[in-house]
Structure 1
Amino acid sequence: MLLQDKKFSLLELASVREDETITDTLRHSLCYAQRADELGFERFWLAEHHNMEGIASAATSVLIGHIASGTKRIKVGSGGIMLPNHPPLVIAEQFGTLACLYPGRIELGLGRAPGTDAITMRALRRDMRAADDFPQEVGLLQQLLAPLKPGQKLKAIPGAGTEVPIWLLGSSLFSAQLAAQRGLPYAFAGHFAPRLVREALHIYRESFQPSETLNKPYAMLGLPLIAADTDREARHLATTSHQRILSLLRGNPLWLKPPVDDMTPLWSPEEEAAVKDFLGLAVVGGPDTVREQLETVCRELPVDEFMFTIDIYDPAHRSQALEILAALRT
């Protein structure tokens, strides 16, 4: 019963299978979003990453438009736009345009980290200290997306008056505090940074200040998830995610690889521990196990919504995971 009160959403990185093209990947992403739309998922967000082989979501706002154009109901947004990489005016114009094209369906999740390395930041022509200005730039974005005021000099056209919903994203405590101060919805990146989840959610709820946006806190939790017909099959499918995180830790390309029967030859004991720590909040199993694990999270953590990352190699199996999730809420 606990799950019936929670909304389910998805985070997409447009992960490229090692035997396919980016064109294939983007086609799969759209089909995935369309199935989520049909099944009643709440939102579909795309993550901004740059200079990463195996991830095709760098042009995040472009992909948001692509997904929104191919779906009907589901909210589409960023999870997130890494604000240090962009001038706020440009983001306001991009998301304002999207909001005009797809009214009521576009959302703007914002992250404070650059989401990339120093070389890439310089290529993006952003100041290495831009993250220090995050609170001010969030405020500027709020102003640019709000209705125009008399005498306002700086205007986002399109953008002004669209009031695109802004979320703050975080994997530490900073954005939890800022979201609470500004009265904004908050999403914690438990899909890759599980350690501070309890503290961040506690700070957000305890420090929350009501605003014109929200009168009470609203927290979403990102979780890695692998759902299949049986626990055994889910554990097998999860080796795709294990290989990917292993590649990340080694600094290798992040191609999505087929599942394997045994990870033992592929990693050292130290690497295995690091991968499992990275995926510390992962939910893996058949329908009953997934239900039990999610209900445990519901009892232990004060979250209003789940946003799942589902790294499954076969698109058909990935779609099946959505169907399993949807059935848990009926």
Structure 2
Amino acid sequence: MNTDTLSRIKISVLDLAIVREGGNAADTFKNSLELAQHVEKWGFTRFWLAEHHNMQGVASTATVVLIGHIAGGTSTLRVGSGGIMLPNHAPLIVAEQFGTLATLYPDRIDLGLGRAPGTDQFTAAALKRDEHAAMEFPGNVQELQMYLSEGNKNGRVRAIPGEGLDIPIWILGSSTDSAYLAASLGLPYAFASHFAPAQLHKALAIYRQNFKPSAQLKEPYTIACVNVFAADTDYEANRLATSFKKMFLGIITGNRKQLQPAVEPNEDFMDPMEEAALQQMIQYSFIGGPEKIKKELEKFIDITQVDEIMAASAIYEHEARLHSYEILGALYKKEN
């Protein structure tokens, strides 16, 4: 294991704008900004928000608005989407929205793109999402690239603001399809291993083997999103992670709720069958005190050879969530 494993990568945040039981969206947005300001001080690289719809426990429906809120309250942190579900939107609208953000906050905006609906089939229909939208995703990405390019200045349809701005585009994915697309377009690639771990290693290999350099990126660049629950002790980290486990259990069973308070880690809140399904889904979750987190993350980074770790932390207690990212930031700074 390399002793400088953490020092050779970047660390970032995926914030799902989770609404806690007993709280509301206003609390969530306040806490998200406070978290962004907190991790900025600890040397984190970027802060991404994900588009979701029709979920009582997730408030990031107007992702672009939230990105502006976070960018406006920070100064050096890169802020972006992890991601915008492109088939839900016309590429021109996305180009104009992110062109506006990049004009307001130069050199600080990332545009991560996904093809999933970010919701259920009924809400997807309400969003006017075409049933063939996923198949059109590669073409929509290229259309968006065209609107953001300097070369489109003589086009009949132009994105103003947006045209000619240096807005990094990322391909997000949880399967090998996204790996092939990111590689063929020469774009950086972020994998959602925090909830879909099964194809992580295969997707990374496909991306690297098939990568074609582009104007945006000369060599492959990868992010793995993982769950991180750090605390002063292993026991406390396991206690904090019970909220997250209950949340994911709700996804598995279809009984979604707002983020629940933590319980003692030995409390019996799921049956063995549910726990087995849950463990498969959250395989890349790092739970423990500083030494355990450091050891396990270093092993993961050495195996995957990713360039960046993006940490998601569904922790009910806001101060504990801040402290979890502080521990991760301190481990990173210690090696730099």
Match of 1:301 among 284, 301, 304: 304
Residues 55, 254 of structure 1: 8 Å contact kept: no
Question: Does 2:104 align with 1:109?
Answer: no
Matches within 5 A, 1:149-188: 149=152, 151-188=154-191
Q: Which amino acid aligns with 1:269?
A: P
SS at match of 1:130: coil
Change (3 A) 1:210 1:55: same
Q: Deviations over 1:68-90 (max 9, x none)?
A: 00011000000000111111111
The alignment's TM-score, normalised by the length of structure 2, stands at 0.96
Tell me which stretches of 4 or more aligned residues in structure 1 moved more than 4 Å: none
CA distance in 1, matches of 2:132, 2:152: 30
TM-superposed deviation, 1:264: 5.2
Match of 1:277 among 254, 258, 280: 280
SS at match of 2:36: helix
Structure 1 unmatched ranges of 5 or more: none
Match of 1:71 in 2: 74
Question: Does 2:199 align with 1:196?
Answer: yes
Q: Which amino acid aligns with 2:35?
A: Y
Of the structure 1 ranges 147-156 and 268-277, higher mean CA displacement relative to structure 2 is found in 147-156
TM-superposed deviation, 1:322: 1.2
TM-superposed deviation, 1:148: 4.3
Change (3 A) 1:125 1:259: same
The alignment's TM-score, normalised by the length of structure 1, stands at 0.98
Residues 20, 316 of structure 2: 8 Å contact kept: yes
Matches within 5 A, 1:97-136: 97-136=100-139
Match of 2:91 among 88, 92, 96: 88
Residues 184, 210 of structure 2: 8 Å contact kept: yes
Q: Which amino acid aligns with 2:6?
A: L
Of the structure 1 ranges 249-258 and 119-128, higher mean CA displacement relative to structure 2 is found in 249-258
Structure 2 unmatched ranges of 5 or more: none
Change (3 A) 1:19 1:150: closer
Q: Which amino acid aligns with 2:306?
A: V
Matches within 5 A, 1:9-48: 9-48=12-51
Matches within 5 A, 1:207-246: 207-246=210-249
Q: How many corresponding residue pairs?
A: 330
Change (3 A) 1:150 1:54: closer
CA distance in 1, matches of 2:266, 2:99: 46
Question: Does 2:47 align with 1:50?
Answer: no
Of the structure 1 ranges 120-129 and 145-154, higher mean CA displacement relative to structure 2 is found in 145-154
Q: Deviations over 1:149-177 (max 9, x none)?
A: 45311101111111311000000001111
Q: Which amino acid aligns with 1:137?
A: N
TM-superposed deviation, 1:147: 1.1
CA distance in 2, matches of 1:133, 1:30: 34
CA distance in 1, matches of 2:203, 2:265: 35
Match of 1:265 among 265, 268, 283: 268
The percentage of aligned residue pairs carrying the same residue is 51
Q: Deviations over 1:126-157 (max 9, x none)?
A: 21111100110000111111114453111011
Change (3 A) 1:21 1:209: same
Residues 173, 199 of structure 1: 8 Å contact kept: yes
Change (3 A) 1:101 1:232: same
Change (3 A) 1:262 1:283: closer
Residues 239, 263 of structure 1: 8 Å contact kept: no
Match of 2:319 among 297, 316, 320: 316
